[in-house]
Structure 1
Amino acid sequence: MLFMTQRITRRSFIKTAAATGIAATIGFSGCLSGNGKSIVKISHAGSLAYPFNNIKEAYEEQNQDIEIQREAHGSVDAVRQVTELDKKIDIVGVADYTLIPNMMLNEYTDWYARFARNKYTIAYTDESSYSDEINSENWYEILGRDDVRFGFSNPNADPAGYRSQMVIQLAENYYGNNEIYENLIGQNSNFEMTEQDDEYILEMPPTSDIEVDTDKIMLRSKEVDLLSGLEGGEIDYLFIYGSVATQHEHNMIELPTEIDLSSVDYADTYGKVGVKIAGGSTVYGKPIVYGITMPNNSQNPELAADVVKFILSDKGDQIMSDAGQPPINPAVVNDMEAVPEEISDLVTEA
């Protein structure tokens, strides 16, 4: 095994590659599709599937020799494609930007950008039980009824999953009812939310040990996997991002800002709830902010940088906005010195 004594950053590699032609050699070695197009591989959050598909179509229309290949996962699993499965991924996009510094920074990437926002909601259809009765004040009572079934994604695999638990716990303080979490989750699963020093912490069991009452709760690896259950009438309500509900034209409950994880004004309130991911760290509530990065094992760093540039461009911003995920403009990065030069004019450092 060879060990390098000098750490090469993404930016310095791209600079060198541009000058020497290394990028072309690496990029076209094993990175061509069957039709001879250069490939850019993206591993991303399920809630980015809709806007990233539109970005793929718009980018490929302008660059017909490039093919973008997307894989949708829960965000934790999207990162694990690189960190545990060692897949050669060019771009990673997640629904919780803190997953990048917590799981990737330094060893797997040198930089990340915060580039879009969202809010949390509960989606339903006209056929959902009590759809003509539910509102932002009584939703937890409706979901607690014996003949109502709801769904959320796995908190170990997907930020939408652990955010569902945060929203339900935050609801107790907002509505002045300290039995909401127990009524909806505790008595229907082996999840236990405990109070610790003025904070509420859910310590997740390993995924293989998760138990839920399937007559009450539908659990899947990522939130978009639950949409078919909602649309097919298997569940009545789905904890999900507002953007996904909008994209699929579902009804949604406008949760109070104090609990929907959308506003920096309530960051301290959100932060009173945390979820300890099995085998990982504790994630605390915070406003929903998406993150994007380029792993160090990208086989096409120049092309990947160009795709990220498109995502952060005015056109990309419009696509994100149309999808219900307001862009952060300019995107905010952790280290200006580490980002590719191609995107340096589109970002600012926090």
Structure 2
Amino acid sequence: MDYSRRQVLGALGAGSVLVGGFAVSSGRQRNDVSILAAGSLNDALENGLRADVAVPLRVEAHGSARVARLVADEQKDPDIVSVADAALFDSPLDPAWFCEFATNSLVVAYNPETEGGRRVADAGSDGWYRSLSDGSVTLGRTDPDLDPLGYRTLFMLDLATNHYGTDSDLRTVVPQRSRTYPETRLVSQFETGSIDAAVTYRNMAVERGYEYLDLPPEIDLSDPRYTDRYATTSYELPSGKTVRGGVIRYAATARDRRQSVADVFETHVTGDYLTDFGFAVPNDYPRYTDNVPDAFTD
């Protein structure tokens, strides 16, 4: 694998070698598998996948757009890359192959211990947007420049404006009254009382046991019947790439052909832990694209 000169010199200066993009002791043999993953996958990987595989895992999680950029810029070199939007495997990454393995939906999670959270609950799935747009509720969301959840939140608000026929543009109004957090820390803000509600993935609310409102399928980015409607909204990333609305698709690729990596990858994309942790797995998943090595399809 190729590393930048700075990475090599930094690792050697610390008496280490680079393994999966991380500096580790030069006396340690490579018997583990590294995964750089979407923040929404973190809990499922740490507490689900880890128990289902026979080799040590090293999991690092960030927003998917940041994950893709870290690999594209050669700042990280993991064995497996797993993101919350397959579009990121078109740009900035361009792997020879990848596998779609799970879907999700957007929900509005709320804190029943706060006044603002109770307002969201009382408004229900038909009126949640009113309390978010009038300034009475503190909303948490993620940065659209760093992860798909952030730009999917904007997609949902755009679609909701038309779906509910609101007088104001929710995509413009709601973010002005929200707070932005890293994906891995978003729902934990309920525990500190920092936010009343959050737009998040269903699995993130389920795995932490938070109350949430389901959104109509016309706007929750989960239903293939509304693919054309979802595609009417878009967002331009700092790289200049434009991402369009669509059904949520988690995808992964492996960058090493060691048998241990192939074994972990297979469990990662087919394991029962995915549904246990709140993800949806369509009947035609996992779905492979392009030139998949035999080791990953046997």
Deviation at 1:68, TM superposition (A): 0.8
Residues in 2 aligned to 1:31 and 1:312: alpha-carbon distance in whole angstroms: 27
Question: Residue 238 of structure 1 aligns to a residue in which SS?
Answer: strand
Matching residue within 151, 157, 181 for 2:171: 181
Aligned residues between the structures: 273
Q: Distance in 1 between matches of 2:105 and 2:158?
A: 16
Residues 276-300 of structure 1: CA deviation (Å, up to 9, x unaligned): 01123110000001000013xx4x6
1:333 partnered with 2:288: yes
Residue matched to 2:263:
306
Match of 2:49 in 1: 55
Matching residue within 77, 88, 93 for 1:99: 88
Match of 2:8 in 1: none
Larger mean CA deviation between 82-91 and 239-248 belongs to 82-91
What is the aligned counterpart of 2:222 among 250, 262, 266?
262
Find the aligned partners of 1:312 and 1:143 in 2 and give their Cα distance: 36
Task: State the SS of the aligned residue for 1:327.
Answer: coil
Q: Percent identity?
A: 31
Question: Is this contact kept in 2: 1:33–1:39, CA < 8 A?
Answer: no
Q: What amino acid maps onto 2:173 in structure 1?
A: N
Q: Which residue of 212, 217, 224 maps to 1:252?
A: 212
Q: Look up the equivalent residue of 1:240 and give its one-letter code.
A: T
Q: 2:37 aligns with which of 44, 52, 56?
A: 44
SS of residue paired to 2:222? coil
Which secondary structure state, in structure 2, belongs to the residue aligned with residue 308 of structure 1?
helix
- Do 1:33 and 1:67's aligned partners in 2 also have CA atoms closer than 8 Å? no
Q: 1 CA distance for matches of 2:259 and 2:237?
A: 34
8 Å contact from structure 1 (residues 309, 343) kept in 2: yes
Distance of 2:285 and 2:196 partners within structure 1: 39
Tell me how far 1:181 sits from its aligned partner.
2.7
Indicate whether 1:166 and 2:155 are aligned. Answer: yes
TM-superposed deviation, 1:32: 7.9
Q: Does the CA contact (< 8 Å) of 1:32 and 1:39 recur in 2?
A: no
Amino acid at match of 1:48: L
Task: State which of 196, 201, 222 in structure 2 corresponds to 1:236.
Answer: 196
Deviation, 1:327, is: 2.2
Alignment partner, residue 16 of structure 2: none
Code of the residue aligned with 1:311 in structure 2: it is H
Instruction: Check if 1:138 corresponds to 2:132.
Output: no
Which consecutive unaligned segments of at least 5 residues does structure 1 have?
3-25, 189-215, 346-350
Distance 1:330 1:145, change over 3 A: closer
3-state DSSP of counterpart to 1:42 = strand
TM-score relative to the length of structure 2: 0.85
Residue 122 of structure 1, CA deviation: 0.9
Per-residue deviation, 1:44? 0.2
TM-score by length of 1: 0.73
What is the distance in 2 between the residues matched to 1:48 and 1:34? 31
Shift of 1:33: 9.2
User: 218, 243, 246: which one pairs with 1:286?
Assistant: 246
Tell me if the contact between 1:144 and 1:184 (Cα under 8 Å) persists in the aligned partners: yes
Listed one character per residue, the Cα deviations across residues 27-82 of structure 1 (whole Å, up to 9, x for unaligned) are 9xx888977561211000011112212101221xxx2xx21100000001111221
* Structure 2 residue matching 1:92: 3-state secondary structure: strand
Quick check: 1:342 aligned with 2:295?
yes
How far residue 253 of structure 1 moved from its aligned partner, in angstroms, is: 1.1
1:227 alignment partner, SS class: coil
Q: Using the alignment, how far apart are the partners of 1:309 and 1:280 within structure 2?
A: 33
Q: Which residue number corresponds to residue 79 of structure 2? A: 90
Q: What letter matches 1:41 in structure 2?
A: S
The answer for unaligned runs of 5 or more in structure 2 is 3-18
RMSD: 2.3
Using the TM superposition, give the Cα deviation of residue 330 of structure 1 relative to its aligned residue in structure 2, in angstroms.
3.7
Q: Is the 8 A contact 1:31 1:39 kept in 2?
A: no
CA distance in 2, matches of 1:134, 1:249: 20
Change (3 A) 1:241 1:132: closer
Give the secondary-structure state (helix, strand or coil) at the position aligned to 1:103.
Answer: coil
Is 129-138 or 66-75 further displaced after alignment?
129-138
Aligned counterpart, 1:213:
none
- After superposition, the Cα gap between the structure-2 partners of 1:287 and 1:226, relative to the gap in structure 1 and judged at 3 Å, is same
Q: Cα distance, 1:178 vs. partner?
A: 4.4
Distance 1:227 1:342 in 2: 37
Q: Does residue 1:320 correspond to 2:274, yes or no?
A: yes
> Taking structure 1 as reference, are residues 33 and 256 closer, same or farther at Cα in structure 2, changes over 3 Å only?
farther
Distance 2:29 2:71 in 1: 25
Change (3 A) 1:32 1:334: farther
1:116 paired to 2:102: yes
